[in-house]
Copies of this chain bind each other. A is one copy, B any other.
């Protein structure tokens, strides 16, 4: 099993129970999550040593976040405490044609986003891990965070570790002309990355690549090999999602490695909690890589992991390797007892 770090902000998720609006209810359920937590947790459940690199505030909110993340079994040796603000988001569940609604609060002032330069023990971390995961959300934050990312990337590469990067472009974080602003930072990450999550839209919108194809599947097959070649990336993977009217989604995963594509079966399933599914996917890819699965098995594993993450409460994937294998092979089952 591998030791894999994930760098990213921890946020407090404050969810209105059931289908009430924030203006109808008086109760919130809270958990703590973020891409880093989700990836480190998912890998820990798969048997790896998942390690979270982040900054949490030195107050009772930070204590609660620590407790929550410890509960997941994540290694917090490289989590530091500083400042007194944690980013938050309020989640109102949608139903059918009414979409879910997310309202952020206090994000830019958070301890993570204002962490002091040099706060992370980059050298010690780089010496102990096999790989480190970053995502486009952290990249969007500010120069301070990007500085942390750069120093981590360099230290890990220097020690021979691998860089995993999930493009995960969020328009609201980059603002107007966002793709243009984002491009240099993404190019910098892709140049160093070994394993990348993206799809054809990222190639066109962020990297500005062009194609005559009009269908996503064809665009993907043209553009991803070009990206892999251009930035010298060993593995690129991602998913195509379609959303149906009866609260089911269909997900198909792809994986490009050593000049060829592998595709998962398309999986269709009911959705309970969509947030965090992408993090389950990347964790599945990483697990497949470190276990030496064939590309076909890896992409099926990762897509099934993503599917299961839609059926679990909260952002954080909770499935074991056994659960995912079962979901890959099993037909629908009656209750087990």
Q: Is A292 close to B, CB under 8 A?
A: no
Task: From known contacts A29-B27, A30-B28, infer whether A332 and B100 are also in contact, taking CB-CB under 8 Å.
Answer: no
Is B97 within 8 A of A269, CB to CB? yes
Q: Is A77 close to B, CB under 8 A?
A: no
Name A332's contact: one of B19, B72, B245, B267 (CB within 8 Å). Answer: B245
Which of chain A's residues 72-101 have a Cβ closer than 8 Å to chain B? 72-73, 85-86, 88-90, 92, 94-101
Q: What is the bound-complex CA distance between A314 and B98, given in angstroms?
A: 15
Is A327 within 8 A of B97, CB to CB? yes
Task: From known contacts A105-B85, A270-B246, infer whether A64 and B22 are also in contact, taking CB-CB under 8 Å.
Answer: yes
Q: Is A155 close to B, CB under 8 A?
A: no
Name A94's contact: one of B99, B100, B311 (CB within 8 Å). Answer: B311
Q: Give the nearest-CB partner of A109 in chain B.
A: B109
Q: What is the bound-complex CA distance between A94 and B275, given in angstroms?
A: 18
Would you give the 0/1 interface string for A293-319, flagging 1 where the beta carbon is closer than 8 Å to chain B? 000000000000001101111100010
Q: Give the nearest-CB partner of A68 in chain B.
A: B71
Q: What is the bound-complex CA distance between A163 and B14, given in angstroms?
A: 39
Is A23 within 8 A of B63, CB to CB? yes
Task: From known contacts A85-B106, A95-B272, A106-B109, infer whether A19 and B334 are also in contact, taking CB-CB under 8 Å.
Answer: no
Is A30 within 8 A of B21, CB to CB? no
Kindly provide the distance from the CB of A270 to the nearest chain B CB, expressed in whole angstroms.
4
Q: What is the bound-complex CA distance between A312 and B330, given in angstroms?
A: 27
Chain B residues within 8 Å of A31, by CB: 26
Is A19 within 8 A of B89, CB to CB? no
Chain B residues within 8 Å of A90, by CB: 60-61
Number of interface residues of A (CB under 8 A): 82
Which residue among A94, A172, A327, A337 has the maximum number of chain B CB atoms within 10 Å of its CB? A337
Chain B residues within 8 Å of A243, by CB: 332-334
Name A98's contact: one of B20, B92, B103, B327 (CB within 8 Å). Answer: B327
Chain B residues within 8 Å of A73, by CB: 66-67, 70
Is A101 within 8 A of B60, CB to CB? yes
Q: Is A102 close to B, CB under 8 A?
A: yes
Is B275 within 8 A of A335, CB to CB? yes
Chain B residues within 8 Å of A101, by CB: 60, 336
Chain B residues within 8 Å of A267, by CB: 97
Q: Is A151 close to B, CB under 8 A?
A: no
Chain B residues within 8 Å of A60, by CB: 21-23, 90, 92, 101, 103
12 sample A-B contacts, Cβ–Cβ < 8 Å, listed by A number:
A19-B311, A23-B63, A28-B28, A66-B73, A95-B311, A96-B270, A96-B272, A97-B327, A98-B323, A105-B105, A243-B332, A245-B332
* Chain A residues near B (Cβ < 8 Å): 14, 18-24, 26-31, 59-61, 63-64, 66-68, 70-73, 85-86, 88-90, 92, 94-106, 109, 170, 172, 241, 243-248, 267-275, 307-308, 310-314, 318, 323, 326-327, 330, 332-337
16 new A-B contacts at CB < 8 Å, known A97-B270, A99-B336: A19-B312, A21-B318, A23-B71, A23-B318, A66-B73, A68-B71, A95-B272, A96-B311, A97-B332, A98-B323, A99-B330, A99-B335, A104-B337, A243-B332, A243-B334, A245-B248
